[in-house]
Structure 1
Amino acid sequence: MNRFISTAVHKWLVLSLAVGLFTPAVLSQGAAAAPDAPSLSREATVDEAEIVPGQVLVKYKRPQPQRRTATGVRSISPLVKAVTFNEQIEVEDKISELNRDPNVEYAEPVYRTSLAGAIDVGGITNADRYDTVTQAVYWTAADDPYMQNWGKIASRLEAAQTLTTAAQKNEVTVAVLDTGIDASHPDLAGAVVSGYDFAYNDAQPVDEHGHGTHVAGIIAAQAAGASGYSGVAPGVRIMPIQVLNAEGAGTTAMAASGIRYAIDRGADIINMSLGAAADSDILHELIREAVSKGIVVVAAAGNESNHWIGDEAGNIFSPPGVSYRLASPTIYPAAYDEVISVGAYAQLADKSYTLADFSNVGKVDVMAPGVNIFSTYLGSRYAYMSGTSQATPFVTGLAALLKANAPSLTNEDVKTLIGSSGSRSSLNAVNNGAYAGGNLVGEPLNAGMIYGKGAIDGERATQIPFLQVTPVAVGRTAPVTVTFDVYLRDAYGRVAAVDAPVRVDIKSYNELNLYRNSDTSAGFVDVMLQAGYAKAVTEVTYGIDDIYHYAYNASWNDTLFGESRMSNTVHLINRPKQPEVSLPAGSYTGAQSVTITSLYPDDVVYYVLTRGGAAENGELTESRTLSISADSELRTFTVKNNVIGDEGYYNYTIRAAPAIVPPAPWMAVPGPAPVPVPAPAAPPADNEPVAKPDRFKPDTDKLLERLDGSESNVTIEVDPALRNTGTVEIDGAVLQKANERNKSFSVDMGDFRLTLPPNAIASTGSLTGPVEFKANTAAAVAAPASSRVLSPVYDFSLSLNGRPVNGFRRPLQVVFAVNPSRIANAHQLGVFTLNEATGTWEYVGGVYDAADGTVTVNLAHFSIYAVMEVNKSFPDIQTHWARKEIETLAARQIVTGVTGGRFDAGADVTRAQFAVLFARALRLQASSPAPGEAAAFKDVPAGTWYEEAVYAARTANLVNGVAAGRFAPGTVITREQMAVMSVNAYLSMTGRTLADIVAADDIRYSDAGAIGVWAKAYVRAASELGLMGSVDGRSFAPKTQVSRAQAAAVLYRLLEMTQSEG
């Protein structure tokens, strides 16, 4: 599912599409409905109260380097950052700002999370009870041992427990994401391994609430002394990860950090007795990653419902002001398909079982005991609690026992086994048909939505074989045939020698609905298991190029218990492409029109156009033209056959200034093309300058002491009076020691920071004497043509013992602070140096980070530098698909125009021209054969405009020529040749090898046979990296000639992919 529809407005679109504009039966203020009319507590949009102010989560397109930040940036993973900022800034505005950053894939709000076990039905000692609960469900004060263990007894978990040894259980680690754990509790002593506290950011996840300790005890408590209480899987290891504070509140940022921690530290199972009302894409992606790495994820369905009213058995409580039945949907993350969602059941006075009063419905996989659950509590005590929070660890404990008993079981196997153990027959039907004719978001409430597969049963889980369905072949022509291997396996993963009929069902999966009862049948096939195995071939009507989402699973009737058992589910998906949008994202002068066009018959295109904070939602079936007269954001996606396509995102900046003056003609490719600008202007006359210090010398002894510490980088923050200008003097012994300790050294001057890596300054011996760094600013500098200067113009210099240091062994990093509000086009931003010999500014690089408002660049020498935005464009690319890429490379002085100021995007690119473009893009050192040295390429004459670029590319191992001694500079480059050069450049810039990217050179293009043997691995790598792809959805066209626009697009992708690693 794409991230687009998980935002509030897209949920509105999807819900309105699925069920019409939904009007809740009960108003949010609590107006009464008919007594037996079930209602929905989910709003069509996310309540603003669920959003944490001053925080967003950001996913980047590639790993981001750590940088100094004006706002708080905390890394959750190489791609995901949690950003904090002034709460006076609207979250929506911050997200819009971040989405304009070309490095950002998307940003989303941080949502509030809370524990899913707030229904306390007992005190903190065995003696404390709540009378209202004891009247509604089974309770006896005369049999504490039964009450303390009724959940395990009802779930028949002793059978699974006896199959595993202590040593086996000790091999399983369960990450408990909760309020922390009281590791000093006697029943948990020795079970708790190291963890982390993301609520308070320290390595001590100490429970000050009690919820996490209660959950952990249900999973793994070991009877200590005379306590007599043990959990479901005593002996498993508990990894405490605190993502809720002492009040039981947290955020999706904390939860995401906790999941990342569990993944990285090898957890086998993740228990989340918590949830959020809102859908977080970043949280969902991390859960998908966890599942992809074999982790079982179990979460609580939530406690917001009110199923029982009045004096009905099972009525524990009613929310304030609610006297009617309330059916609330499953919270997140339990609502995700990858997660085992756990509902709760209660034991009634007659010892029968029924749906717990509070348990949410909708996406429920299994049920477990959740009322009057006894477990460990703070201060070596015990407590009774109720909630789906308490039901969840019963399922987690069973999963831990299954993994301990048979480590070879996959997480999908464990999920299927637990589901196969479920039975609805032990649960009473909802009382008196209370939900007959009722609905949840327009859907009838059926048994599957209320109970899932039923109450878990540990004995069944270890006795009943489970079905496993694995696709082995997918046809490529219509009608599509899919071949499956179907196995019946036991709890150890072994094939069970059983002959039995099996049905494989195919359903059209409705992505517009949260609940699976809206899926329609697309057919079935009956097969016979022979000795536990069958091969099933299914057939569906859509061609492989059409749009579909099919869900396959198998079922069989077990003879031991006489109930139908389901297999795992396999999905086959082909999503619709993004609709066509006529106006590329970018900066424009004056009002513009954009046309959105559908690509498929019988599809629906949805769009959201946001202007000035107001959102216009719409849909179309053919095309629609919109007017854009102010800065706007456009988002689009396609729906066909109930399948949701990927999002299209377009950001438009509308300038009211006059049109850009056409640029002076630039030559096609030959030679460098710096932007001409006037030399720096003389400082204006000023009043008598205010006296201030111009030199700062930090304490040498303190710096040497810091270098002996644990810091990997030692930063000097200069006197505020020297902000941006002045001299910093450092004793050479300090840098010498930094070299010896292999530590970097930084000087923070306020609006910029300089970092010297170890051994950056060349020296014949030890570094002795003073090292001086000087920074001066020019009083006024005219901006280059069509450009704006976004930082002071700095003149940097470095000296050792009074002698200038003109170059560095290793590049120095400089981080410049910029004001994001002044940036119109982040992709045209960069750092430029003034060539004092020619009086022109030349691009040297720069990586912009919108999260902290900085531009980072690596410099090989010091000179005059400034951050600039160069708005370079061409009149013939204003509606071209590669406009953004061309303008970016033009701003970086990599591509130029042709005669007349045009770009001529469709013109061919010769091999010589492409070599020049690469040399500029990668800033390769000019090279040519030494005097007397035989030329490697006889067809590259000395002194030609491309000679140095060709030999620079050869020295960098980017090109080898077309034959011995021949480069063929005038030949138009082909797509397979461009793939080789592009991948070689990527390998050179990242230090990776071809084997790191591709394990084989098999290529799934229809014309793979036409690709040269020498190029196949490179074409595969270019496809894997996203540098190049199919030209029509099927073929690569290896011999097709490359246009200037195509070359620009590949170079742009290459630089975007590698700039953070440069």
Structure 2
Amino acid sequence: MSEIWKTRISLLLTAIFILNAVPYGFVPHSGGELAAGASFEAARGSGALDEAAGTWIIRWDDEVPAEFAAESEIVGVQDFLQVTIAKPREPADLEAWLARWSKAEEVRYIQPNHLVRTAAVPNDPYRSEQRYLDLIGAYTAWDHVNSNTSITIAVVDTGVDLNHPDLKGNLTEGYNLLNKNKPPQDDNGHGTNVAGIIAAVGNNRIGTTGILWNAKIMPLKALDRHGTGNEDHLGEAIRYAVDNGAKIVVMSLGLHRYSPYMQDIVNYAEENGVLLVAAAGNEGSDVKYPAAYPTVLAVGGIGSNRSLINESNYGPEIDLVAPWEVYTTALGGGYEVNYGTSMAAPQVAAVAAMVWSRHPNWTPAEVRNMLRQTAEDVHMRGWDERTGYGLVRADRALTAVYKRDMFEPNNTRNTAAHLPIDHSIIAELAGGKDMDWFYIQAPYRGSVTITLSPLQSTNAQITVDHLDVNGRVQNTYPNMLGKSMTIPVTTSRSYIRVRAASESSNMAIGYELTTKFLIYSDDYEDNDRQYKAYRLQPRSQVLKGTFHQENDYDWFQIPISQDGTLRVKVSVDTSRIDPAIVIQRQGGSAREIDAGEEGKTEYSDPIDVTPGTYYILIKNVISNRTYPVTGEYTMTIEYMPKYIDPNEPNDKPYQAVMMAVGTQYNGVISSAADQDWFTFVMEDKGVVDLDIQRIPKNRTMSLTIYDSAQKMLAVYTSKLGAEKLHVRTELNQGIYYVRLTANAPFQDQMYGFTLRIHELVAGFIDIKHNWAKDTIVNLVEQNIVQGYGDYTFRPNAPLMRSEAVAMIVRAFKPQQRAAASYPDVPIRHWAYQDIARASSAGIVRGYPDGTFRPNDHVTRVEMAQMLGNALQLEELSANPGFSDIPEDYWAAGMLAALKQHGTLTGYPDGTFRPNATASRAEFANLLYKALTK
């Protein structure tokens, strides 16, 4: 959620310092539309104004106007950037002050003065060994370098314990940005942890040793005892370090938002030859700023066994990893175990100082390059987003031969090196014939701006080719040294081929290549204003969007034509988005949903909606002024219309709706007291089917039947989760009533209710129009054939062996001479007695494997054989006269006997089709013939 305008950066002591959410409302512009000038309060959210209760950073393109000085309280000035830190004088209106000066021509940008925090996780069990020194190769490195007092390393943090016996020998004069009249004494402990990792005095027979035994540590206190501080203090601390001779600045802090002010500060350090090193963060999400700026060495954490740490932040900006767990100096003169990427970053800073002791004339880019090319692969070969270029190795960094182009060999598409987005590298073309291939694989569709800068003064030029995933040239950019180009990219590979403009040149060209990714514009743009809102259909739906530009606001509208409920959910895939939702009916008040934090999902409660146009605004409230974010949000809209029951009023028996057979009646249960009554007439005795369909899955419905005197006859209730209820029952002639109720009301969908009436013939509803009706009726009257419990005979259903045997036994009444002995016909089987009698009488037999298979279907020839056996017919040697029965067919003799008996006939085409499955009607017909001959 949006925080107070002094936005707090979690300094990665994450378990301790968590910002409280500040709920705030949304005040729309009159008339239901947000005017452009009302965007500070309305479109950005009043939580932004709460944050703005602090101070603001303003960078000027010209002199500070007198009017600004008159109406503002200036609390700080940074002349080197023409930056003023200020806030409106009391009782000036903050919104008006922001609106005026954010539009002033002299202002390059105005942004909230964010808070920053320390970056360590809470302590786990105490450990006394500095095992991380082994992992990074410090012991071997000390054979070459163990100190560097020729450069200064600035620690921007909570200060340092100035009297710690294992530190004070390596401390130089620092600065307290919170109180310039006091020394930079640590009152939190985090800065003391960091300083001890870099340079606890070594070889002094007390405590621990730093990676550097002797060094010059400049303590800069920019954070208070809680580990928080303003962004301008962080920027001023970096500037102070640069201006006062520091060569390395280490920062174990961060925030999830881009800041042009911090980008300016980072650029200032790089331009002045100062290396910045920062912790990536401990949330298991995106790399935090300032580590995410391309020229800052972003450091993640790794386990003591070189395993990945899930909490260590990762992404395209990550450069290196170092051990997550350390044993280091503590506030008060002691020692302690600590964890986090804020403990990893100072290890990299110390190794960078070692490298600079061997190569004092190197640039920050060359130091970064050396650390990258000598890192140890611990996850994947080469660069990967979890560990960057790998585990920092002090021993390798001091002994390896420096490669001016660490990506070689990459002269072909097949050997192309991975070029991360939002990254900066240096490489070299060795001559006119050399080519450097890189591939970019972006996490989303979008574009990448590539900037090439020369590492030394040169008249040579570089040509860059952009190629697709198949190696086809998409565009060629000549004379790119000192320039930028922008290319479209997808989640598939894109290739960049860097080559000398002249193939005949023998001159080596060193270059720095920086990438900047911009995510795609979503399908709903341009919808940054309410009057440009993208029109959605009034239904439930899911869509994805992006924040691809500065101050991107995404408006949508839904035309509602029917009462219902509306619910909106927004989830994000990056911690760089703090989503908020605004829902407003045209002409009405708006409500804002912003309960979560950065990277968290926002939900609205179900909102009752009526016909009209509803607006939905999705915005990123991570800061007052937002910038493009590499990430997507997913908006889920649930719209549940409330249906009107067309049969109302029918809450009483005398209001019952007269039902027509076969017509579906749609309705809803609109309240707990709602009950829907229906009535129908039975002209004769028969069977009724009452069907309820489309029952909500989270509801049950009950159907109660009453007679004409409104005496209850039966109640039927659906099961929870069942979407249908089917009732079949026999009723006499008369008038009947049906009452429908539910266990809870629903109006977001309509049930369907249908009546069907069936005439009974011999107790069955499905033989009236069957060709064997008379035969079936006759056999029913003789109790030879039976139906099923649902009033059906199912004449066309295939006949099972157990059913055929039961009919034969009822018809011929054979005597049982032996018990059945089939393993698949237990004594509890419904047809056990019939199968036993038929088997002992020789009417049926089992299979060679000893089974009877009572549920198998009977073929026509098996049906004939059973009946012939029941009739005790002698098989004839004559041909039965069917075209598909040869003389040597195994049942030819019995078929001939049945045909002679007058029981058996074939099909009109002269066939018998012996292997066709016999139906229940066919068997009943054949049985009837056998009994009447």
Range class of TM-score, shorter chain: 0.3 to 0.5
TM-score, length-scaled by structure 2: 0.42
TM-score, length-scaled by structure 1: 0.37
Structure possessing the higher radius of gyration over alpha carbons:
2
